[in-house]
């Protein structure tokens, strides 16, 4: 049994040959036209609640702790610089190198007190942000402590480079 291909294609071609008048127009209808105007209202700005008194007290305490740690760091820095300068060129593991390493470790200990205060400030900042509270006061104290820790980091890095 042989099939005539023309017979198979005839119904498909007939479907493509329908008259134009049977389908609706795709032009915009009157109901689809935009009418009127829309004026969005201005959003009301968010005003965070004031910083709670307990947080303000914590801020003062943490700022004082960081300042105390920074003063201790600065007090130890001159002696550590002298110790590291006297150990320059000393062999790894020698007495001079060991004294310089201990002096740098003392500076790192003073820095760690400031870093603990900085971590607590980070926690306060995150808590306030999550709760939608005021961030400016906390961020200002945090920026001050961050600047102190950055200064301490650069001093320690400089001393470590001198010791090598």
- Tens of pLDDT, residues 40-90: 888 888 888 888 888 889 999 999 999 999 999 999 998 888 888 877 777
Specify if 149 maps to a domain: yes
| Overall domain count for the chain | 1
Specify if 123 maps to a domain: yes
| Predicted model pTM | 0.67
> What's the pLDDT at 32?
79
Specify if 42 maps to a domain: no
Specify if 113 maps to a domain: yes
Closest CA to 164 of 57, 83, 90: 90
- Taking residues 22-47, report their average pLDDT: 81
> What's the pLDDT at 38?
75
Specify if 46 maps to a domain: no
Specify if 144 maps to a domain: yes
Specify if 90 maps to a domain: yes
Specify if 86 maps to a domain: yes
Q: State the residue range of the domain holding 159.
A: 69-163
H helices of 37-132, in order, are: 53-86, 95-131
157 within 8 A of 70, measured Cβ to Cβ: no
Distances (CA, A) of 93 to 84, 89, 90, 101, 134: 14, 12, 8, 10, 51
Distance CA 41, CA 50 (A): 27
Q: pLDDT tens digits, residue range 115-140?
A: 999 999 999 999 999 988 888 999 99
């Amino acid at each position: 049994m042989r099939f005539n291909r023309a017979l198979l294609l005839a119904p498909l071609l007939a479907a493509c040959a329908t008259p134009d008048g049977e389908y609706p127009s795709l032009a915009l209808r009157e109901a689809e036209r935009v009418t009127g105007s829309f004026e969005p209202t201005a959003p009301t700005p968010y005003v965070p609640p004031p910083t709670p008194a307990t947080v303000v007290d914590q801020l003062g305490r943490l700022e004082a702790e960081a300042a105390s740690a920074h003063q201790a760091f600065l007090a130890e820095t001159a002696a550590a610089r002298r110790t590291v300068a006297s150990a320059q060129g000393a062999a790894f593991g020698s007495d001079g190198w060991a004294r310089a390493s201990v002096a740098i470790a003392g500076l790192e200990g003073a820095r760690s007190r400031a870093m603990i205060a900085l971590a607590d400030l980070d926690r306060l900042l995150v808590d306030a942000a999550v709760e939608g509270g005021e961030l400016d006061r906390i961020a200002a104290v945090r920026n001050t402590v961050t600047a102190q820790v950055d200064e301490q980091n650069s001093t320690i890095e400089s001393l470590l480079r001198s010791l090598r």
